[in-house]
Structure 1
Amino acid sequence: MLEVAEQDKKMSEKQKKIVAAAIELFAERGFAATSTSEIAKRAGVAEGTIFRHYKTKKDLLTSITMPIMIESVAPFLARNFVAEVFEQEYPDFRTFLTALVRNRFEFARENSSVVKIYMQELLYHDEMREQFSKIFMVHVKGQFDRIINFYKERGEINDMPNSTIMRALITNIIGFLITRFMIMPQANWEDDAEIERTVTCILNGIS
């Protein structure tokens, strides 16, 4: 569960409990399937307390939950992503790609509630898409370009536009993570083997 940002001095203890409960329930059931009465029960407050702070359930999602997650998680994701994956040396593209997939896998496993809400709600909230686009362009895209160009020069990646290669990488990795943590989380997964198979599928398409 994502903790409510302690630096937000304007948020009361009850508000923090409401937001924390909303994050848990939105992740478990989705926004549409979660009622304010369920949020109130999980938070240990009266339902009327929610409406004293937020006019509607949508206000709770868009005005509080999403900004907190964006501020707390997305910059952390980008900074650590770059440091842990792109600022390392790899003997070949397969080793880099394996590190990339494993890094995002571990992040999704450790932050499964937040990841679920992002995946569920990203298509419906312009501010989330805009923030992710900004973070990707500022922190990640240049690093992707550098790595792709390096392995192109070594002949390990086909000479396709970098944007096409990025789309192939992102689509395959996100597809794997959605299946693993959202669609079939209870399946009998062999995670290490599945990571290697995902890497092989990507390489067969771009190398």
Structure 2
Amino acid sequence: MTDEKEQWLVDLLRRLEDDDGKKTEKQIRIIEAAVEVFSEKGFAAASTSEIAQRAGVAEGTIFRHYKTKKDLLLSIAGPVAAKLFAPFLMRDFARLLELPYDRVEDFLRAILRDRLEFARKNMKLIKILVHEVPFQPELLAQVKELFTHIVVTRVEKAVKHFQAQGALKEIPPWRVIRSTVSQFVGMIVFHVFLAPDFPFDEEEEIERTVDILLHGIAGRPS
């Protein structure tokens, strides 16, 4: 446990306080410890006894605030999806999408840089979502709602703009979004989660990823 709270924890606590009021120091330690244990081990392998040990509280203290281990998970992961990610997308990411871009390459570079930085700052919280969304129907429903009504709606507008300019093929916007998300998530997952120590030039990697997205991987015939 660190004395100085990481930014992800500050943001999460702020949003939890908006719903339930200010947290006690013990509750804050429980939340921080739960995020660490859930992100490291996943929900199934995590134990409330380990969370309590890391938080420096009795296990019974956890159950005074949360009826079950799943309630503790949902109290964290729900706001992560609905309170932390959604406002970020609505405010910062939405503003990014509204900026004028002369070329589609500039638009894609801006998104990739932004999402790469976001993933690095929120690694523990993202790990919890990746681990648990497929197995927790409540979280899956929140993420679907978030992606459909915030991300897709706003990105679709940009896709149609560049299609009208002739910079993108006239194909269904959802297909463009699917391909873009696949490329970008693949790069971010590899460099942030799977191989964080793998040496690479970030700007060059962004350029190559955008190039592959727009032009494919096939070589020119001789």
TM-score (norm 2): 0.82
Q: Does 1:82 align with 2:94?
A: yes
CA contact (8 A) 1:2 1:69 kept: no
Kindly tell me the number of residue pairs found equivalent between the two proteins: 203
**How big is the alpha-carbon RMSD for the aligned residues of Structure 1 and Structure 2?**
2.0
SS where residue 32 of structure 1 aligns? helix
Structure 1 outlier segments of 4+, above 4 Å:
none
2:62 — aligned with what? Answer: 50
Contact 2:33 / 2:54 at 8 angstroms: preserved in 1?
yes
Cα deviation per residue 1:86-141 (whole Å; 9 max; x = unaligned)? 11111111111111111111111111211121222221122222222222333332
Structure 1 position 168, deviation (Å): 0.6
Percentage of identical aligned residues: 37
User: 2:52 is matched with which residue?
Assistant: 40
Distance 1:49 1:155 in 2: 60
Question: Pick from 97, 100, 110: which aligns with 2:111?
Answer: 100
The counterpart of 1:121, out of the listed 128, 132, 137, is: 132
Residue in 1 that maps onto 2:158: 147
Aligned residue number for residue 214 of structure 2: 203
- Find the aligned partners of 2:78 and 2:157 in 1 and give their Cα distance: 31
Q: After alignment, is 70-79 or 146-155 more displaced? A: 70-79
1:192 matched to 2:203? The reply is yes
CA separation of 1:115 and 1:148: change in aligned 2, threshold 3 A: same
Aligned to 1:25: 37
The answer to whether residue 9 in structure 2 is matched with residue 2 in structure 1 is yes
The aligned amino acid for 1:184 is A
TM-score normalised by length of structure 1:
0.88
Q: What are the ranges of 5 or more consecutive residues in structure 1 without an aligned counterpart?
A: none
5+ residue gaps, structure 2? 1-7, 217-222
